[in-house]
Amino acid sequence: MFTDLPKYVFLTGKGGVGKTSLACATAVSLADAGKKVLLVSTDPASNVGQVFGVEIGNHITPIATVPGLSALEIDPEGAAAEYRERIVGPMRGVLPEKALKGIEEQLSGACTTEIAAFDEFTALLTDDAVTTSYDHIIFDTAPTGHTIRMLKLPGAWSGFLESGGDASCLGPLTGLEQSRARYAAAVDSLSDGVRTRLILVTRPRASSLTEAARTSRELADIGIGNQHLAINGLMPDKDLGDDLAAALIKRDTAAIDGMDSHLAALPQSRFALRPENLVGLAALRRVNAPVALERAAPRTAVRDLPPLSAVVDGIEAAGNGLVMTMGKGGVGKTTIAAAIAVELAARGHEVLLTTTDPAAHLTETLAGDVPNLSVSRIDPAAETAAYSDHILATKGASLDAQGRAMLEEDLRSPCTEEIAVFQAFSKVIREAGRKFVVMDTAPTGHTLLLLDATGSYHRDVLRHAGEQASHMTTPMMRLQDADKTKVLIVTLAETTPVLEAAHLQDDLRRAGIEPYGWVVNASLAATGTTHPILAARAASEAPEIASVRENLATRYAVVPMQAKDPVGAARLRALVRPEPVLV
């Protein structure tokens, strides 16, 4: 495992990279070495209790099977709910109901959840009785650089909001004034390289490594420099004659060789892809052990995994309309959007594919012109810069230096890019009345609700329309019309991505948008792999696919993991109608 760890260790990374598994394995390794260790999880998808086979919850719980180890699971959603009520409760009966709903929505996003979780674990960092009781405190999931920067800004958050400042992420800070000194101490601890190390956990994938590089630079810019890179889930060197395994080994190597130079310069640890889920002490203690490849893979027929063609058939029936792919980064939204667009075009429909992906990537994916298909590309950086400049020139014009600094920080939030890109997307939505528009990278439900609640677009249009409002259709209204818009949630057949996709679905439903279906992408269960590790991983997908089928989706499709990149119209269409396989 990791060596020479300081007192505080934070593991961070996007969902599904294995933060919790590595955090638990690190904690067990330290405890086995005779250290007193506290493992704290603030991950919404935390399964620390399941890993150790005990119920933990929001209180420090000794792990009886590991002397010296205790654990604590902070429920970020519960913390966020309590935090919202502390802010909104005193306003009930004072402000109009519409105003309260706007405030509640402002406090419903990821920023509020993260800040509320930060509120919980800073108590640990600043509680001498707790900190002196342990040699190491391991945090599963660290705050982002954006949140830390906000907490370092000067006070008067409430005054800024009361003066008319619009905020997507500053709103959650309205209740923090009384805790500012405690947060300052916690931020100092995070920045102290002697006391703290931040471990960036990633998969050997280009998208995951790019995200890790962005996070690393963002944290370094605010003084958190004691960083370590953990590349998790590396394929073994031997492909054993399996085409898929050979392709994945090649992909891992290319991604690592092409990683950002800043990221490549960090100290590194690498962990192999294992055939088992890291649940139970024996599995955790095998994290660094060699992986045995001798076992023969079982071969059983794959049944009842519906192809993407069934979903496309339903979309096609309308004759035209808007199709949106949504999901967390790295799940393959762009590829699925391109596959659907190419398939609809091949069936003779006029299709516009619009995306925020870099143009070169999309051009490589399509590998040439496709009849009936046109492409619209939106540059998120340019759209965000233009939107931010507009907000600073209008709402920021009358602010003092402190208020302007807060507004500038707020404009660095993820919501800003979503809002800016959505406004650009809105210009092409109207084309869905006469053709199919397939839209990649859509705003989250929280952002859509924030737009609606603040009047940034939807209500502004209706307010200025006057008597014509009843005859108008705004972009928000079109998204809520299930006959005109089909939203597809894209995920992977893994615990954390499925849970994150379920949260996205909840957000969309709050915004009045009912997803049309789910796409489980890059599934090993839908391939013919005979590699023992991949076959074992394929078997572990079964409960996640069952959860999507039985509990989450009204309709769903499963797209196989590809041995070759889906480049060109033929391979993209093959994603829609894959050949039957054995595992």
Asked if 65 is an active-site residue, the reply is: no
Over the range 200-216, which residues count as b (16 or more CB within 10 Å of their CB) and which as e?
A: bbbbbbbbbbbbbbebb
Q: Which of 14, 19, 435, 486 is catalytic?
A: 19
Return d(Cα 571, Cα 508) in angstroms, integer: 31
- Tokens 């000794």 found at: 62
Q: Which of 12, 14, 20, 485 is catalytic?
A: 20
In one-letter notation, the amino acid at residue 246 is: A
Q: Identify the sign of the CA torsion 62, 66, 69, 74.
A: negative
Q: Which of 13, 14, 15, 21 is catalytic?
A: 21
Asked if 427 is an active-site residue, the reply is: no
Return d(Cα 262, Cα 12) in angstroms, integer: 17
Pairing mode, strands 61-62 and 69-73: antiparallel
Return d(Cα 435, Cα 349) in angstroms, integer: 7
Contacts of 123 (CB under 8 A, 6+ apart): 182
Distance of CA 413 to the CA centre of its chain: 14
Q: Which of 13, 15, 18, 233 is catalytic?
A: 18
Element (H, E) at 344: helix 333-346
Return d(Cα 462, Cα 202) in angstroms, integer: 45
Asked if 19 is an active-site residue, the reply is: yes
Asked if 329 is an active-site residue, the reply is: no
Asked if 43 is an active-site residue, the reply is: yes
Burial of residue 292, with CB atoms counted within 10 A of its CB: 0-12 exposed, 13-18 middle, 19 or more buried: exposed
Over the range 508-529, which residues count as b (16 or more CB within 10 Å of their CB) and which as e?
A: beebebebbbbbbbbbbbbbbb
Q: Which of 16, 165, 175, 233 is catalytic?
A: 16
Enumerate the β-bridge partners of residue 64: none
Q: What is the DSSP string of 435-462?
A: SEEEEESPPPHHHHHHHHHHTSSHHHHH
Q: Which of 208, 413, 496, 530 is catalytic?
A: 496
Please check whether residue 415 is in contact with residue 166, taking contact to mean a CB–CB distance below 8 angstroms: no
Q: Which of 14, 41, 42, 43 is catalytic?
A: 43
Return d(Cα 165, Cα 395) in angstroms, integer: 7
Query: Catalytic residue positions?
Result: 16, 18-21, 43, 496
